[in-house]
Amino acid sequence: MPSHAETFPPDAPPPRLELRGITKRFPGCLANDHVDLVLQPGEIHALLGENGAGKSTLVKMIYGVLHPDSGTMLWQGVETIVPDPAGARRLGIGMVFQHFSLFDTLTVTENIALGLDDAGRMDELADRIRSVSERYGLALDPERHVFHLSVGERQRVEIVRCLLQDPKLLIMDEPTSVLTPQEAAKLFETLRVLAAEGCTILYISHKLEEIRALCSRATVLRAGKVVGATDPRQETARSLAEMMMGAELSTPERPPQGAAGAARLSVRHLSTTSDNPFATNLKDVSFEVRAGEILGIAGVAGNGQAELMAALSGEMLVADADSVVIEGASAGHLGPRARRSLGLAFVPEERLGRGAVPELSLSENALLSGYAREPLVRGGMVHFGRARAYAETIIRGFNVVAHGHRAEARSLSGGNLQKFIIGREILQKPKLLVVGQPTWGVDAGAAAAIHKALIGLARSGAAVLVISQDLDELFVLSDRISVLFHGRLSDSRPTHETTVERIGLLMGGLFGTPPDEDGEITRAV
């Protein structure tokens, strides 16, 4: 029953969900500290915060994955304990996770049936899927196998799975991080229809422009505490970011680019073949990165980024040695070590588990790639003193917040680890730096520092290649932008001559190349 009579008149319906003083402690950290949150029926409510602010912990408690240490949760005015996700679904709470849980080899209907508590007959379920997807404009063929689907379509499967249970509250965790701008716009239409029907949507994102376009309320978390609640439509992206950080945001300045120098990286007619049936093969990819410039490659994940990164780093060797040329030397047959000695430095997309070894200290992680261009190994023996000094130099030079060079890589936050890895690569004075998703999941403060470092490196004469899904980032960083789609690369355009919308269309595959042999370019819009 409604208890806060002063906030709600007696005849008004109770809020859909109310949290009072929710607290959750993990060993060594207080993830949520007396969090209060009120969600009204039919509102789209944003939950904002930097990484580690406690957003995920809070929604996991709402969805019954975790349980609060103390505090009260009122569901439609009634005090409720959510025992587990099945219990949450029975109440009418649905959640779309950032990482999908779908089986590639099953059909859409089969995948949805697996996630339902009472799936019923498969043909009836397929009919229900069709009617729900038509009603909300979520084009989806129930008979298709998931491995055929684009990332946007896979997300629709997850959303439809939730909608089939008539949710009263839908939680969406970073839903647009994998979508093109057009796909995101489509998703927003669906969410607005849902909200108009009375469904409450709790929307987690770090894309502030999106939140301003979509949400009518925003609750901001910092270090586990609610630090503000606001109407995002009345704020600027900058003021929201500063609210999240609790500090002023400095945007990197981009000095005008000088005359582009010689080509440091030339990729000529690069094609790959993979044994993995789910890999995206590169098809006749050609581009150049010149000294002093930043080339951005946009594209939705899964369009060949992983293959391009591996072919450039040397983790995957390519058939034609001349299709990858670093500093004038044919490098297609060279391994990562030899390419590093040519002047390549490399920041992979997965920072924990590829760019750094989680269990090792920062000084050992400095050695991981630093051995190639820094004097850290002599006569087969590791010079640990120098590795420590190198790690300390990185930590100081890039403001890495860590307990010294002894800290394990996994003990750092995503942003600090990324600063460390980028610092490790930049301090090797590379002639060419290849970076994947430089600020994915990194908080705004660290992202600004990383952008500044990348621009600084390019202006000092290195060539920088940035492969990212984040268009805002590419527009801040790049001098030229290309788009990767289904393993093909578009021609590059100077950044100031193009727009987010144009690049967005290219990310959806509209760049006039003929469809490939199996007619794969069938993107449902």
Q: By the criterion CB under 8 A, which residues form the site for other proteins?
A: 27-29, 67-72, 81, 313-315, 335-340, 346, 348, 350, 353-360, 364, 367-369, 371-372, 377, 380-382, 408, 411
Give least dist CB 127 to other proteins, A. 40
Q: Which is nearer to other proteins, 252 or 441 (CB)?
A: 441
Give least dist CB 330 to other proteins, A. 18
Nearest to 7 by CA among 29, 38, 28, 41: 38
On the 0-12 / 13-18 / 19+ scale of CB atoms within 10 A, 159 is buried
Contact residues for 431 (Cβ-Cβ < 8 A; gap 6+): 264, 291, 327, 342, 343, 344, 462, 463
Q: Which is nearer to other proteins, 348 or 487 (CB)?
A: 348
Q: Which residues pair with 122 in a beta bridge?
A: none
Contact residues for 465 (Cβ-Cβ < 8 A; gap 6+): 265, 289, 294, 295, 297, 312, 432, 433, 434, 435
Q: Using a CB cutoff of 8 Å and minimum separation of 24, what contacts does 513-517 make?
A: 513/488, 516/283, 516/486, 516/487, 516/488
Give the C-alpha separation, 92 to 273, whole Å.
Answer: 46
Give the C-alpha separation, 346 to 292, whole Å.
Answer: 17
Give least dist CB 339 to other proteins, A. 8
Give the strand pairing for 480-485 and 463-467. unpaired
Q: Which is nearer to other proteins, 103 or 384 (CB)?
A: 384
Q: How far apart are the first and last CA of the chain?
A: 44
Q: Which is nearer to other proteins, 173 or 364 (CB)?
A: 364
8 Å CB contact between 301 and 280: no
Give least dist CB 375 to other proteins, A. 12
Q: Which is nearer to other proteins, 337 or 396 (CB)?
A: 337
CA 363 to chain centre: 28
Amino acid at site 351: R
Q: Which is nearer to other proteins, 1 or 196 (CB)?
A: 1
Q: Which is nearer to other proteins, 68 or 445 (CB)?
A: 68
Give least dist CB 184 to other proteins, A. 30
8 Å CB contact between 454 and 293: no
Give least dist CB 274 to other proteins, A. 15
Give the C-alpha separation, 3 to 74, whole Å.
Answer: 10
Q: Which is nearer to other proteins, 364 or 473 (CB)?
A: 364
As a three-state string, the secondary structure of 132-201 is HHHHCCCCCCCCCEHHHCCHHHHHHHHHHHHHCCCCCEEEEECHHHHCCHHHHHHHHHHHHHHHHCCCEE
Give least dist CB 467 to other proteins, A. 15
Give least dist CB 338 to other proteins, A. 8
* Rounded CA Rg of the chain: 24
Give least dist CB 32 to other proteins, A. 13
Q: Which is nearer to other proteins, 261 or 353 (CB)?
A: 353
Give least dist CB 293 to other proteins, A. 25
Tokens 């044919």, located at residue: 330
256 phi, psi to nearest 5 deg: -60, 145
Q: Which is nearer to other proteins, 77 or 252 (CB)?
A: 77
Q: Which is nearer to other proteins, 68 or 292 (CB)?
A: 68
